[in-house]
Amino acid sequence: MSSLSNLLLPAVLFFVLGVVARIVKSDLRFPPDLAKVLSIYLLMAIGLHGGYALANADLFIALNSVMWALIMGFSLPIIGYVILLVSRKVSLLDAAAISAHYGSVSAGTFLTAIAYLDHAGIEYENYPLIMLAIMETPAIVVGLLLAAKARQTIAAREAKAGIVQDATDDIDGDDNSFGHLLKDAFTNGSVVILMGSMIIGAIAIPSSMDKLEPFIEEIFMGVLCLFLFEMGHVAGQRLGDLRQVGVLLALFGIVMPLIGGVIGVYVGTYMLGFSIGGTTLVAVLAASASYIAVPPAMRLAVPEANPSYYLTLSLGITFPFNVIVGIPLFHKLAQVVTA
């Protein structure tokens, strides 16, 4: 499938419609909590489906998938942080907050990739579902550590300039809140509902799971269309922030997913031995940027960082790029590497 074919999927078209509705200033609005309800359903559905399939999965492959999810979750934010430091376009704390988003994952992008593969009739392993849940947390942890290191660097610079008193206060405050933020990362709602649903799907009686098939399968794509329509509407709100982000920083929102996608293709093909479909999903996980779990964590942990930067990059640039261009590109790359 080409990028054009991916654009013509109903779910993607509804995302575009959401963007257009925002641009033309339509009075169409979602009820405040509907997007959250749709997110819960989608995560629950893929968790149940994945858990049911993983009940008979190979334990070694599952553990290997978890290991590589952790490796990518910890390493990708560091790669992004280094790139941002080299660019010298943002502060150290902005770089820490932004990079955390690019080690975490986007459930919306992952679900769109599943729709893409299903539409093309391409089979895929269910292990990336485990990786989806695992990769939410490491990036938040790395973001907190990078922010703590950035504050130490800033404090050292201020000490040289004769400004000492506030620096130690900031570092102590960060240490006091680290455990609380770490707990929030592991108990994030997206992680809890996804992992919980996978466990339920894995241990539930097969006959009872069969009765859930209409809930898991038949209405899934319709709900995904509604979810992406809302995401398009939110992304449309961020278009005006592009001027604040700047050209070089906006390029980061495209270059970083390309780097992550290439790493994901390598891991999926050579480290995990997945099929083309499974490798595509791993690449999409590595290329995506969080817009649900990480922003509130970074806003709480790194209040000095500019939310316009990381929200515009993750939701206004990287998400549309992956949905329209990235998914078919990574699928094609997976085909080439496998061949």
Match 């050292």 to its residue by tokens: 156
Tens digits of per-residue pLDDT, 294-308?
887 787 778 888 887
Model confidence at 71, in pLDDT bands (50, 70, 90)? very high
Q: Tell me the H-state helices in the chain.
A: 3-7, 10-23, 34-54, 59-87, 92-101, 107-120, 127-134, 136-160, 165-186, 189-203, 206-211, 213, 220-237, 242-245, 247-266, 276-287, 294-301, 307-311, 319-321, 327-338
48 pLDDT more than 50:
yes
Q: Are 284 and 330 in contact (CB under 8 A)?
A: yes
Q: Are 282 and 267 in contact (CB under 8 A)?
A: yes
Task: Taking residues 6-16, report their average pLDDT.
Answer: 73
Model confidence at 170, in pLDDT bands (50, 70, 90)? very low
Task: Taking residues 307-311, report their average pLDDT.
Answer: 82
pLDDT computed for residue 184 by the predictor: 65
Residues 6+ apart with CB under 8 A from 4: none
2 pLDDT more than 60:
no
pLDDT computed for residue 284 by the predictor: 97
Q: Are 309 and 97 in contact (CB under 8 A)?
A: yes
The pLDDT mean for the chain works out to: 83
Model confidence at 192, in pLDDT bands (50, 70, 90)? confident
pLDDT computed for residue 190 by the predictor: 67
Model confidence at 13, in pLDDT bands (50, 70, 90)? confident
Enumerate domains of the chain plus CATH numbers: 43-209+244-338 (1.20.1530)
Tens digits of per-residue pLDDT, 234-265?
777 767 766 767 888 889 999 999 999 999 99
